[in-house]
Amino acid sequence: MTVIRKLLWLIGFFALLAVKFELYKSLGQENIDLFKWFEVGTSFVLGIYVSLILIKTWSLRVNYGLFWFVALPITIVAFLSPFAFTSSLPSFLMSSELVTWLFRTSLYNPVLLGVLSGILLPFSLFSGAITLKKQQG
């Protein structure tokens, strides 16, 4: 990646942060349901933007292990908190200790989980499995 592309990416990153901050100020915390969706959604978009600089080639090469066992579960946990705020989960799910723990985790870390899922989801879809080349000689 050339220096100019990296510089443009950095300018875009700060512009995205500024837009997120302005939307955050205008939204406020009056409507907590919308605020939770906004918090996770914008963090997810920010994570996707960060992945733009990490992914070298944009050909679809799915890393199934990373997708099924890391990216998809983190994305589900990230969006669990706003979903639980905007709708009622069935009582049998809330009685589960695992679901309660996941809900607390997503409640206390929505921005981190949103960014992480935004980075890992495209990375798992476009990075492919890493292959090591054998050294000759």
Domain spans, the chain:
3-126
88 vs 133 pLDDT, higher one: 88
| Tokens at 21, concatenated | 């901050």
- CA-nearest of 94, 95, 102 to 78 is 102
| Tokens at 101, concatenated | 């723990």
Distance CA(19)–CA(39), nearest Å, equals 13
Let me know how many helices (H) and strands (E) the chain has, helices first. 8, 0
Distance CA(122)–CA(53), nearest Å, equals 11
Instruction: Tell me the per-residue pLDDT of 52-103, one tens digit each, with 9 for 90 and over.
Output: 988 888 889 999 999 999 999 999 888 887 877 777 766 766 677 877 777 7
pTM, entire model: 0.81
**DSSP conformational letter for 67:** I
